[in-house]
Amino acid sequence: MSRGERIERAEELGTDLEHVVQSLIAEDGNNARLLECYYWSHESGLLEMIRAFLAMPVEAQTALRAFFVSAVVPKSITASVDATGTLTLRSPEAAAILAALFSRDSGSA
């Protein structure tokens, strides 16, 4: 791609981005929410994590959502990775809630 093509593409992206931001402001009207999204977008590693989450199979997304919703005290969550690459997340609250949920589901089958 030539320098001129890169400049033209950058200008197109800038125009597209400006249009997206204007649309968000006009359609949502919630400036506090928009500002919060802006701040979160600058959190180190967050966008990469969101992209990875959205690329996961639905089952993995559902399991993670259930875990995080069940982990009432976020500071109680611990994580570890073993030599095989297995990630283990722990939360006392999530364990209790999910255990009750899954025991109820298996009992009704």
Per-residue pLDDT in tens (0 to 9) along the chain, 109 residues = 777 666 666 566 566 677 777 777 777 667 787 788 788 888 898 889 999 999 999 999 988 998 898 888 889 999 999 999 999 999 988 888 878 877 766 555 5
What is the SS3 string spanning 16-80? HHHHHHHHHHHHHCCHHHHHHHHHHHCCCCHHHHHHHHHHCCHHHHHHHHHHHHHCCCHHHCEEE
| 61 and 35 in a common domain | no
| 29 and 76 in a common domain | no
Residue at 51 is within a domain? no
Residue corresponding to tokens 């609250």: 93
| 27 and 74 in a common domain | no
Supply the pTM of this predicted model. 0.58
| 106 and 72 in a common domain | yes
pLDDT at 6 (0 to 100): 63
pLDDT tens digits, one per residue of 69-89: 888 888 999 999 999 999 999
| 65 and 18 in a common domain | no
| 62 and 35 in a common domain | no
Residue at 48 is within a domain? no
What is the span of the domain harbouring residue 34? 1-42
